[in-house]
Amino acid sequence: MSILVDSSTRVVVQGITGREGSFQTRRCIEYGTRVVAGVTPGRGGEIAEGAPVFNTVREAVDATGANCSLIFVPAPGAADAILEAKDAGIPVIVCITEGVPTLDMVMVKNQLRGSSVRLIGPNCPGVITPGQCKVGIMPGDIFLPGRVGVVSRSGTLVYEAVAQLTALGIGQSTCVGVGGDPIVGTSLRDVLTAFQADDGTAAVVLIGEIGGGFEQEAAEFIKSQMTPRRGGKPVIAFIAGSTAPPGRRMGHAGAIIAGNTGTAQAKKEALAAAGATICDSPAEIGSMTERLLGQRGLI
What mean pLDDT comes out for the span 203-210?
95
Amino acid of residue 275 = G
Annotation says 137 is catalytic: no
Angle between helices 102-112 and 75-87 (to 10 degrees): 10
Task: Using pLDDT thresholds of 50, 70 and 90, give the confidence band for residue 257.
Answer: low
Nearest alpha carbon to residue 70 among 140, 15, 111, 29: 15
Task: Using pLDDT thresholds of 50, 70 and 90, give the confidence band for residue 260.
Answer: low
pLDDT of 229? 66
pLDDT tens per residue, range 104-113 = 999 999 999 9
Q: What is the distance between the alpha carbons of residues 15 and 29, in angstroms, rounded to a whole number? A: 15
**Res 244 pLDDT > 70:** no
Q: Tell me the CA distances in angstroms from 69 to 35, 36, 140, 183, one per residue in order.
A: 10, 10, 19, 19
> What value does the mean pLDDT of the chain take?
92
What mean pLDDT comes out for the span 282-290?
96
CB atoms within 10 A of CB 1: 12
Nearest alpha carbon to residue 216 among 274, 161, 158, 153: 274
pLDDT of 243? 61
Set 34, 252, 267, 268: catalytic member: 252
What mean pLDDT comes out for the span 173-178?
98
* Between residues 255 and 30, the one the model is more confident about: 30
Q: Tell me the CA distances in angstroms from 255 to 101, 263, 291, one per residue in order.
A: 16, 10, 30
CA Rg value for the chain: 19
pLDDT of 296? 85
Domains and CATH numbers, the chain: 1-123 (3.40.50.720), 139-299 (3.40.50.261)
Whole-prediction pTM:
0.93
**Res 92 pLDDT > 90:** yes
**Res 245 pLDDT > 70:** no
What mean pLDDT comes out for the span 109-120?
96
Nearest alpha carbon to residue 150 among 122, 130, 168, 169: 130
Helix extents (H) in 65-213: 75-87, 102-112, 155-167, 188-197
**Res 176 pLDDT > 70:** yes
pLDDT of 183? 93
pLDDT of 193? 96
pLDDT of 52? 98
Whether residue 11 contacts residue 21, with contact meaning beta carbons closer than 8 Å, is answered with no
